[in-house]
Each structure stands twice: as structure tokens, then as C-alpha cells.
Amino acid sequence: MCGIVGYIGVREATPVLLKGLKKLEYRGYDSAGIAVLGGRGLEVCKTKGALKNLEEKVAALLPRADGNPQEARFSGTMGIGHTRWATHGEPSDINSHPHTDISGKIAVVHNGIIENHGKIKEWLSGRGVTFRSETDTEVIAHLINYYYSGDILAAVREALKRLEGSYALGIICENDRDHLIAVRKESPLVIGRGQGENLIASDVPALLEYTREVYYLDDREIAFLSRDSVEFYNEEGERIHKTLSHIDWDAAAAEKGGYEHFMLKEINEQPKALTDTLRPRVIPAGNDGHSLRSVNLAEIGFDSSWAKAGRVVICACGTAWHASMVGKYAFEHFARIPADAEIASEYRYRNPIFDPHDIFIIISQSGETADTLAALRLAKKNGGRIIAITNVVGSTLAREADLVMYTWAGPEIAVASTKAFTTQLMCVYLIALQFGYLRGKLSREELDFYIAALEKIPAQAQAVLTNKETIQRFASLCFNKSKVFFIGRLFDYAVSLESALKLKEISYTHSEAFAAGELKHGPIALADESTLVTALCTQEALFDKMDSNIKEVKARKASTAVITYEDVHHFDQTAGAVFRIPRTPDCFTPMLTVIPCQLYAYYCSVLRGNDPDKPRNLAKSVTVE
Ligand code: F6R
């Protein structure tokens, strides 16, 4: 996710900004930039790639000891900086932040997504504004300029009234050399209170060298920073009082937002990530002239030509393949169309049968997995229409696919995939639902019903996370089990596969997943007192079958646990432990049942003394075969 820093004080701003950005590198980024206000007015330097590229670019421009101070560039005591994680527009110099208005006097850095940027862009274009980048952010700079008539704070407030979506903003204006403005809505921003200097940052580590006294900006609050003071306003322009907090964490803990590991942080980020994936794609009831909700998937060219498709092929590796399995069930369920989930490393070496009308979906968090890209190229050669679901804007997959649907999960730093998985699921559900509607397999009312259920998922995921101590306690009792099996049927089987992978990769426990009905065909031979069997039980029509499976392994002395709905007591007598998720249609449970399993894997890893963020033998992005 993007990182923001800002400084106003007595020091040279450039090194403060560059150092601050370095402290935010852990958030993930693909480009960086700064804007400094000094003797030469507002100067901007930005570039694609690593921070060192920016440092080199700026260093080439900085004043030299023997130089003429009149020519000093990037010399000034206030400025803003940014590391960008591309969302709208691929990583490039021009798309990097800061963005400026047409006059070049107002500079803006932004973290978040402006959902109505298209409409604002059209509106501003009609008023003579020309745009330089493909970003959603650029509209903010132009909009502030549009409302500016000598009072930058008033102009920012006017502009905010037009913005929909999420944003943390840092803003400076050449005509006001005494103020830096910070705004927050649904994206983090912290204000550092110093002596004769004040700062802003997306996260505390960027501030710690200068101060440990901070204000946490809340949603829809505006901070107006001068060198000696910080004033806070609400959206209506009324002054508000905020309390200072003292930071006593160490810098490393601060980078993880107070979490012990990135993996735990990312597991906890899932409610927000799911919201970010879903919200821009849902048309609320009433917005398109209908009284029911609908889905907007214009990004993947969803039109009537899709109706010709006779099959859906979903292809991926690892966790993303498990999302493909869920996708297969979802397409069959909602769209009543044959669907296959293909392992990319197998698919690329097969001689697959391909019909040009097939819809070919490739899923990859990184967009750089070698096997997945090879499968994409094979499918392309066969003339298929390729849709990529990926988290990384500008990745090879995003560039080579015909159409792209981004997961908007934000950067995933921990090697084990968590929030990428649940957001991939959200994407495949949306496509399957819309496709089902297009094929006449779902009525408008049914589509509305399912979208309403999806809208509840982020809050329900939050509710599951609230019970994390229960999982932690359970892990502390079972982390030494030598064998852990996950069993389930249909959607629960796909999550069993993902849960077993998560557990083995970070805790190094021997774990496997079985379709519950397959137990008696072989795997049950392994069940004994050293085995934990976790049964995922959310497919209501199959509860009795699952109950029998649990009894079968119990009879072989295995310990058992069940994950089921909060209102289901079917398994209370059978299972050793029961974990509960809120009610949702059976087909959507993977987005919830996987969370306790992720947490279980995480706690087992920690209890076994491993580093869950960097499991042995594994890499985040598998760019080789
Ligand atoms: C498991 C995990 C891997 C990846 C796989 C594909 O936690 O992260 O199994 O899912 O290597 O990676 P992407 O999605 O980047 O193609």
C-alpha cells in the first residue's frame, strides 16, 4: 500500500522525506517521489522503481557545497513524499506521486482509491483541464486548484465534498509556505508533533527519528500543520480537539502496525481488503434505475459475447489454485456452465483441448509466477480470451492478459498468502454471479440476494477475527500434533486444501486435505491418536455425511475439530472442539472458514518457534520453474 510522508519545520525537507519513505518501504511500492517547497518554488521529483532510483535522481539535483545557493534545487523546509503501490495506471514516472494541478503550484500525495475519479475527470475536462497521468489521484490536485481562491484549507474542504472512496492525503501549495495539510478517510495517517517542526506519515516508523508524540487522524478529519502548531478540523470546517499519544514501541514493531508478524497483520487486514475488492464493483440499489443491486464488471469487458462460452477454465498455482477450485464450484453453481480448475504447472505440459469460446481465467497474487505465465501464453496461443485476476498492477500477467480484474488487497509481504486468497475469492464470486445472471441462470432478485450476502462478508470476517484468542488457545493445545488433516465437501474441500497448505508451509507440520468422502478409500488408514482432523462443515445438505466422517476418525482415536455456522449444533456432541462462523449462503463460506485455519497455521508456526513471515525453502514470488 502507498506510503505518505510530509514535513514542515526548520530542517532541509528532502533528506527527512527520503528517510521517511525508506521507513515505509515495508508497505510495498513500485515507484516513489517527493515535492519540496523552497526558494525555487514547488519542485517535484518522481520515478518508477526502487527508492534508490529516486535518491539518485534527487542527489543529481541537490545543491553542491561549492554551488551557487540561487541554483540550489530541492532545498526547502517543507515537502511531501510518497511510495506508490499502483492501483490506477501502471507503475511509471508519470503515474508516480506527487501529482500537481495545471498551475504546478499545488502538490498532492494520496493513499487509497478515489472511486468516482472517472466522473470528476470528465467534469474537469469539460472545464479545460488536461490530465497527464492515468491515476485517480491527479483529479484531486486539479479539483483543489479549481476551488482555490487564496485559502488552501477552504479549497481542500470544497474538493473533499466531491471525493468518494478512500484517501489519506498530504497537500502543499506554493502560495502558502507556512502550512501542510493532511486528510484522512479510510486510509491511515499519523501526525507527528515535534519542536518547531511537524510531520505526517502513513505509519509511525517514518516519524520516530523526530518525535514519539503523535496524533492519530480519524476518518474525515483534516490536520492543518504549521511549523509550530497543528490544528484539526472536521469536514464542516469546525475546529476539533485531539489528544496526543506517546509511542513507546520499537521501530520494528511499528512497521508491522503493532502486530508481531506481517502475516498476522495481513490476516487482520482481510475485512478492509474484501471491502476494497467488492465495493467498486457493486452498483447499489437505485443507482442504475433499478431497485435491486447489480454488479459492474466493465473492467473485464463483460458483455453478451460471453454468452457463447461453453466452458470456463481457471488456472493458477498454490493458494491461487485453491481460489480456482472455489471458482469452479461457483461457476457451476451460479452459471450452470462446465468449469475446470487447472494447476498451471500441469496444464502447461499437457495437450489441453481448447475452444476459442472458452473463458480462460488466470489467478496470481504476484502476476509473476513462471508456471502461471506459461499457462497464460499457451492459452493465448490457442486463441482464448484471457482474464487475469491479480493483485499487482503492471505485473507481467496484467500486461499479457487481455483483461484484468485487480484484487485491491494491497501488498502482501508475508510469504504465506492470506488476504490475496480471500480477495481472489471475492473476484471469482463476482464474475460467476454476473455470468449466471447473463446466462439467465440467476434472476435479478437472486443476484441482488447474493450481492447483499457478499456485502456482509467483510463485517463477518471481522467477527471471525474477533474470536482469534479461541484459535490461539486451541493451537497451544495441538501445535505438536504430528499429522493434521483437513476434510470437507464441495466448497469446504477447496478450503481444506488451502488450510492444509497454509499449515504445512509455515509450521512444517505434516498436513493434508481430503475430500471427506474419500477418507474410506484410503486416507483413513493414517488416522490414529497422533492425528488431528479438522472438519469444515458448512454445506448444510451434507451435515449428516460429515458427522459420519468425524465419527469414523474418532473411532480411530484421532482428535477432532469442526468449523461450522454459529447457529448449528449438529456437531457439538461429536467434535472435540467447535469453531463458529456467521451465517452466509453455503457457497460463500470459504471467505470465512479459511480465517480460523489461517490463524491456526499462524499460531502453530509461532509456537513451534518458526518465523511465519519467512518460511524455510519458500519464496514470495516463484518466478522460476
Ligand atoms: C501459499 C502461497 C503460494 C502461492 C503460489 C502462487 O501461501 O503463497 O502457494 O499462492 O506460489 O503465487 P501467485 O499467486 O503469486 O501466482
Q: Is the pLDDT of residue 486 over 60?
A: yes
Lowest-confidence pick of 151-155, 537-541, 574-578: 574-578
| Nearest-angstrom CA–CA distance, 62 and 40 | 12
How many Cα atoms within 13 Å fall on the side-chain side of residue 393? 24
Mean pLDDT of the chain: 92
Residues found in the chain:
625
- The alpha carbon torsion through 79, 130, 94, 367 (nearest 10 deg) reads 120
Q: How confident is the model at residue 343 (pLDDT cuts 50, 70, 90)?
A: very high
Whole-number Å distance, alpha carbon 318 to ligand 1 midpoint, is 5
| Nearest-angstrom CA–CA distance, 492 and 315 | 19
Whole-number Å distance, alpha carbon 316 to ligand 1 midpoint, is 9
Q: What is the pLDDT of residue 63?
A: 60
**Which residue has 482432523 as its cell numbers?**
533
Whole-number Å distance, alpha carbon 530 to ligand 1 midpoint, is 29
Q: Which domains does the chain have, with CATH numbers?
A: 3-250 (3.60.20.10), 262-462 (3.40.50.10490), 468-607 (3.40.50.10490)
Q: Is the pLDDT of residue 390 over 80?
A: yes
Report residue 210: phi and psi, to 5°: -110, -30
Q: What is the pLDDT of residue 624?
A: 67
Q: What is the pLDDT of residue 160?
A: 96
| Nearest-angstrom CA–CA distance, 482 and 501 | 15
Q: What is the pLDDT of residue 393?
A: 83
Instruction: Find out whether the peptide bond into 411 is cis, omega within 30 degrees of 0.
Output: no
User: DSSP labels for 547-589?
Assistant: HHHHHHHHHTT-EEEEEEETT--TTTTT-SEEEEE----GGGT
Cell readout for 578 is 467447535
Helix, strand, or coil (residue 35): strand
Q: Which of 365, 405, 425, 620 to mutate to test the pocket of ligand 1 (most atoms within 8 A of CB)?
A: 365
Q: How confident is the model at residue 26 (pLDDT cuts 50, 70, 90)?
A: confident
Q: Pick the closest to residue 532 from 507, 508, 509 (CA basis).
A: 509
Q: Which of 362, 363, 366, 507 to mutate to test the pocket of ligand 1 (most atoms within 8 A of CB)?
A: 366
Atom of ligand 1 nearest to the CA of 424: 14
Q: Which residue has the CA at smallest separation from atom 16 of ligand 1?
A: 364
Q: What is the pLDDT of residue 65?
A: 56
Q: Which percentage of the chain shows pLDDT scores above 70?
A: 96
pLDDT digit string, tens, across residues 514-548: 999 999 999 999 999 999 999 999 999 999 999 99
Residue list, ligand 1 pocket, CB within 6 Å: 317-320, 364-366, 369, 372, 416-417, 501, 505, 621-622
pLDDT digit string, tens, across residues 425-437: 999 999 999 999 9
Within a 10 A sphere around the Cβ of 237, how many other Cβ atoms? 10
Cell readout for 600 is 491456526
Q: Which of 262, 266, 315, 319 to mutate to test the pocket of ligand 1 (most atoms within 8 A of CB)?
A: 319
Say which amino acid occupies 403.
L
Q: Where are the beta strands (DSSP E) in 375-451?
A: 385-390, 403-406
pLDDT digit string, tens, across residues 175-233: 999 999 999 998 889 999 999 999 999 988 899 999 999 998 988 999 999 999 999 99
Q: How confident is the model at residue 66 (pLDDT cuts 50, 70, 90)?
A: low
| Nearest-angstrom CA–CA distance, 42 and 489 | 61
Mean pLDDT value across residues 49-65: 84
Cell readout for 18 is 527520503
Cell readout for 304 is 453478451
Q: Is the pLDDT of residue 71 over 70?
A: no
Mean pLDDT value across residues 90-94: 92
Q: Is the pLDDT of residue 129 over 60?
A: yes
Whole-number Å distance, alpha carbon 392 to ligand 1 midpoint, is 13
Active site residues: 2, 620
Q: How confident is the model at residue 325 (pLDDT cuts 50, 70, 90)?
A: very high
How many Cα atoms within 13 Å fall on the side-chain side of residue 117? 23
Whole-number Å distance, alpha carbon 537 to ligand 1 midpoint, is 25
Mean pLDDT value across residues 123-141: 95
Atom of ligand 1 nearest to the CA of 365: 14
613 to each of 414, 418, 421, 601, how far by Cα in Å?
4, 11, 16, 12
- Whether the CB-CB separation of 331 and 585 falls below 8 Å is answered with no
Q: How confident is the model at residue 301 (pLDDT cuts 50, 70, 90)?
A: confident
Atom of ligand 1 nearest to the CA of 318: 9
Mean pLDDT value across residues 90-119: 94
Q: What is the pLDDT of residue 44?
A: 96
Q: Tell me how far apart the terminal alpha carbons of the chain are, to the nearest angstrom.
A: 28
Q: What is the pLDDT of residue 458?
A: 98
Lowest-confidence pick of 117-121, 602-606, 620-624: 620-624
| Nearest-angstrom CA–CA distance, 335 and 356 | 19
Q: What is the pLDDT of residue 562?
A: 97
Q: Which residue has the CA at smallest separation from atom 7 of ligand 1?
A: 416
Q: How confident is the model at residue 87 (pLDDT cuts 50, 70, 90)?
A: confident
pLDDT digit string, tens, across residues 347-374: 989 888 888 888 999 999 999 898 999 9
pTM, two decimal places = 0.81
Q: What is the pLDDT of residue 250?
A: 65
Q: Starting from the edge strand earliest in sequence, which strands make up the sheet with 403-406, in order?
A: 339-343, 312-316, 359-364, 385-390, 403-406
Atom of ligand 1 nearest to the CA of 319: 10
Whole-number Å distance, alpha carbon 506 to ligand 1 midpoint, is 13
Q: What is the pLDDT of residue 602?
A: 97
- Whether the CB-CB separation of 99 and 88 falls below 8 Å is answered with no
